[in-house]
Structure 1
Amino acid sequence: MRQRVVRVALTAALVALVLLAVPLALVIRSALYADQRDTLERAALAAAVRVSPDYTGGDPVELPAPTAGRRLGLYDPGLRLRAGTGPRTGDAVARRALGGTVVRGTAGGDLVVAVPVSHAEQVIGVVRASSAERTVRDRVLAVWAALLGVAVLALAVAVLVARRQARALTAPLEDLSRHCRAVMDGDLTARAAPSTIAEIDQVARTHNDMLHSLSELLRHERNFTANASHQLRTPLTGLQLTLEAGLEQDESRLRPVLDEALAATRRLHDTVEEVLRLSGSRGLPHTAAPDRAVADLLSETEERWHGLFARDGRRLECVTDEVPGDERVPGGPVAEILGVLLDNARGHGRGTVRVRVRDLGDALAFDVGDEGALEADPARLFDRGHTRDGTGAGIGLALARDLAFSLGGRLFLASGDPTTFTLLVPVPRRLE
């Protein structure tokens, strides 16, 4: 592209120079020839003024001395040279001047100007001034050579400017091309840098926006896969254990096992729905999840997790502080968040785990705490890949934070020792 820009600029400069230089060269040539003829005419007029009418009677005539390279002569009506220098017999230019007018012309390679000398309304002679045409032609060629040198210099400057502008125009495009190749090689962090050209900057911004959207799409897809695998691991393990236990029972005691397996299947379905809903929301607040009463939600949470903590020799306590049992919250997302926090407390905490619900007026606060202490950096606790004790995949808390945000709520670390997480869920203001 650089060579193309240079060629275009050079072609434009050549066309401009031709359109300007050729007429200028012709004008210069015409002006130099006209100037020389004007000079010859002035010299002939000055000599004609000094010619006395008595020269026809034999009186001598003293013409001004011509400058170098010029000839000045006086011719009588018979076209015989009477004084000065020039051909012995007057030429056609001198003959035409006998008609009483100044005549300009060429003869024998000379520029010639003939001025009539009049007395008593009669032409009594002709003053002829001439100079070699070669002298004017040499001046014309010298000026043309200078003009050609200026044109060559202008072309050289045009090439330098064109090359510089070509670099300025193509450098952002080459940079954009390098970033595109980097993206093609798998580097989704590559971004095109801004330049000083608005149109190329617009293309770069569009490219960066497209790449950002693509990166966000891939991030959501990766998050969905990680969230789904993380959230389904525990329920699938529980379902597998339930079914394996059912295989060891006789047919008369299969009904409770099947009921428990069915409940686990429903929980799996709810988990998949929540992960899909979060993936589809792209992190934007979304509260379309069905509402459930707080009392029912806590009862189900305690029923689901009590046995798991008891199996580890630990206690689970669920209490409310003057929160109406019929207060409703988005059931699916809140249940998933509580599940993440309880699983986090079970895997990384110790001692008794308490779930406490507090009424804050416009929101409900769900506190989930245990008797352990936080070992991770609180500032990075909710980042993917970081956990409270440095073990695990570090997905659950990040997922819980995104679920809370999708409800328009907030999840944060309320205390590091003992470790306590608080979930704020907005609820409609109740009329007293």
Structure 2
Amino acid sequence: MRARVVRVALVATAVALLLLAVPLAVAVRITFFADENGELERAATATVVRVGPDFAAGDPVELPGGRDEMQRGIYDATGRLRSGVGPASGGDAVRQALSGRVARKQTGGELVVVVPVSSGERVIGAVRASTSARTVWSRVWWGWAALLGLCLLALGAAVIVARRQASVLSSPLEALARTSLAIADGDLHARADPSTIAEIDEVARAHNAMVERLARLLERQRHFTANASHQLRTPLTGLQLGLEAALADPDADARAALAEAAEKTRHLDHTIDEVLRLATSDASTWVSAPAQEVGELLEAAERRWHGVLARDGRRLTVFWEPESEKLPVPGHTTDQILDVLLDNAHRHGGGSVTVTLRDLGTALAVDVADEGTAALESRVIFERGMGAGSGIGLALARELAGAVGARLALAGTAPTRFTLLLPLDAGR
């Protein structure tokens, strides 16, 4: 690109200099010849004043001094040279002057100016001044050489300026290209830096915005895989254990086992929907799942987790006020958050687990507490990759809560207690 910018600048400069230099060159030639004609006419006129009225009677005339290369001659009324230097017969220029007009000619390699000499109302002679045209052309060539030198100097300055501007224009684009290559190699944190050129900055901003969107999309895809694996592992394990237990017990109620398996399968389906929705939506496009009564969600969570905790000798207790159980909340989303919190209490907590529903007027508070101690501070416990486990569950729960306008916080560390705040209009 640099060579292209320099080439365009040089072509534009050359055209501009050509359009300027050709008329100037013509003007230099015309001016130098006009100046020389004027000098010859002044010299001839200075000689005319020395010619007295008795010139026609043969009175001699003394010629004034002048430039060495200039020749002057005085002619009588018949056109014969009487004094000075010049052709014996003045020719057309002298004849024209004898008729009463100043004559200017270029003939025989000379510039000639002839001025008539008058006495009273009568032309009595003519003064001829001449110089070699070669002398004038020498000055013209020197003028053209100076003009050419100025053009070359301007062209050299244009090359320097063009190279500088080419560097200024191409450097941001080269940096943008390097950033694009870095992104293509997998560095999604690379960003184009601003420059001093508004148009290139606009391209850089669009490029950065595109990379931001791609990075968010890829991050969502990675999170989807991790979230799906995390959320499906425990329900699938429970479904498998339930079916194996029914198969191992010849006296088991097959219908009850199938009904329980069907409920767990529906829950798995809802889990996949919520994780997929989180991966493909953002805050501006998120559409909440249908609202459900909070009492139904707590009862379903108790059914899913009572047996899991009981197998480890731990107790699960759920409390809520009867007047609050009919309030609507985002159904499947709240269900998933409760699963994460109960799974966290099961894996990393200790003792009994308590779920408490509180009506705060404008919001519902769901507390999930156990008798263990939180190992991390509240500012890092919801970050992905933190903690003794996979570091996915609590991060996912907070993302799900934020998607429906709810808040999830660590309310206590000894014992551990998480609080989910659900606005009452979040599920309507």
CA distance in 1, matches of 2:172, 2:252: 77
- Which stretch of the first structure deviates more once superposed, 256-265 or 328-337? 256-265
**Which structure 2 segments of 5+ residues have no match?**
none
- Once the two structures are superposed, the pairs formed by residues 12-411 of structure 1 within 5 Å of their partners are 12-250=12-250, 253-284=253-284, 286=286, 288-321=288-321, 323-386=323-386, 390-411=387-408
Cα shift at 1:244: 1.8
Per the alignment, residue 3 of structure 1 pairs with: 3
Deviation sequence 1:54-97 (CA, Å, 0-9, x none): 12333221221122321222111233322223334423322321
- Deviation of 1:428 after TM superposition, in Å, equals 4.1
Pairwise CA distance, 1:110? 1.9
Cα distance change on mapping 1:412 and 1:117 into 2, 3 Å: same
Asked if 1 retains the 8 angstrom alpha-carbon contact of 2:80 and 2:88, the reply is yes
Is 1:419 aligned with 2:404?
Answer: no
CA distance in 1, matches of 2:191, 2:38: 72
1:237 deviates by 0.9
| 8 Å contact from structure 1 (residues 365, 423) kept in 2 | yes
Amino acid at match of 1:406: A
Residue 156 of structure 1 deviates from its aligned partner by 0.8
The answer on whether the counterparts of 1:306 and 1:316 sit within 8 Å (CA) in structure 2 is yes
Contact 1:281 1:406 in 2 (8 A): no
CA drift at 1:360: 0.6
2-structure distance, mates of 1:62, 1:96: 24
Aligned 8 A contact 1:321 1:356 in 2: no
**1:160-188 CA-partner distances (Å, limit 9, x unpaired):** 11112222222222222222222222222
1:10 Cα deviation (Å)?
A: 0.8
| Runs ≥4 residues deviating over 6 A | none
Q: CA deviation at 1:285?
A: 7.5
Question: For residue 389 of structure 2, what is the amino acid of its counterpart?
Answer: G
CA distance 1:276–1:127, change in 2 (3 Å): same
Quick one: distance in 1 between partners of 2:123 and 2:409? 121
**Paired AA for residue 149 in structure 1:** G
The secondary structure found in structure 2 opposite 1:113 is strand
The answer to whether the 8 A contact 1:285-1:405 is kept is no
CA drift of 1:322 comes to 6.6
Distance 1:248 1:341 in 2: 31
Quote the Cα distance in structure 2 between the aligned partners of 1:185 and 1:225. Answer: 22
- Deviation, structure 1 residue 349: 1.3
Is the 2:246–2:252 contact (alpha carbons within 8 Å) kept by the matching residues of 1? no
Q: Deviations over 1:129-167 (max 9, x none)?
A: 112212111111111100000000111111111112222
The answer to whether the 8 Å contact 1:231/1:271 transfers is yes
Deviation for aligned residue 1:256? 3.1
Q: Deviation at 1:353?
A: 1.6
Distance, in Å, in 2 between the alignment partners of 1:51 and 1:327 is: 130
Q: Distance in 2 between matches of 1:57 and 1:201?
A: 92
CA distance in 2, matches of 1:212, 1:182: 14
Report the aligned-residue RMSD: 1.9
CA deviation map 1:196-254 (0-9, x unaligned)? 22222222222222222222222222222211111000011111112222221226643
The one-letter code sitting in structure 2 at the alignment partner of 1:121 is E
Do the aligned partners of residues 106 and 284 (structure 1) sit closer, same or farther apart at CA in structure 2, a change above 3 Å counting?
closer
Is this contact kept in 2: 1:323–1:357, CA < 8 A? Answer: no
The more displaced of 172-181 and 224-233 is 172-181
Deviations 1:366-409 (A, max 9, x none): 011122222224212111111xxx31111111111111112211
User: Normalising to structure 1: TM-score of the pair?
Assistant: 0.93
Return the alpha-carbon distance in structure 2 between the equivalents of residues 141 and 322 of structure 1: 111
2: CA distance, partners of 1:287 / 1:106 = 97
Distance change (3 Å), C-alpha of 1:126 and 1:286: closer
**Contact kept? 2:188, 2:215, Cα under 8 Å:** yes
The amino acid that maps onto 1:417 is A
The answer to whether the 8 A contact 2:176-2:192 is kept is yes
Shift of the 106–274 alpha-carbon distance from structure 1 to 2, 3 Å rule, reads: closer
Write the distance in 1 (CA, Å) between the matches of 2:308 and 2:107.
126
- Aligned residue identity for 1:165: Q
Bigger shift: 138-147 or 256-265? 256-265
* Matched-pair contact (CA < 8 Å) for 1:228–1:275: yes
Report SS of the residue matched to 2:379.
helix
Read off the aligned partner of 1:264 and give its amino acid letter. Answer: K
One-letter code aligned to 1:86: G
In 2: Cα distance, 1:26 partner to 1:293 partner: 97
Instruction: Between 353-362 and 68-77, report the one with greater CA deviation.
Output: 68-77
Is the 1:287–1:330 Cα contact (8 Å) retained in structure 2?
A: no
SS of structure 2 residue aligned to 1:39: helix
Matched residues in 2 for 1:105 and 1:325: separation? 120
The residue type equivalent to 2:261 in the other structure is A
CA distance in 2, matches of 1:260, 1:272: 19
The answer as to whether partners of 2:6 and 2:162 remain within 8 angstroms in 1 is yes
**In the TM superposition, what is the alpha-carbon distance from 1:34 to its structure 2 partner?**
0.5
Tell me whether 283-292 or 66-75 shows the greater mean CA deviation.
Answer: 283-292
- What TM-score results when the alignment is normalised by the length of structure 2? 0.94
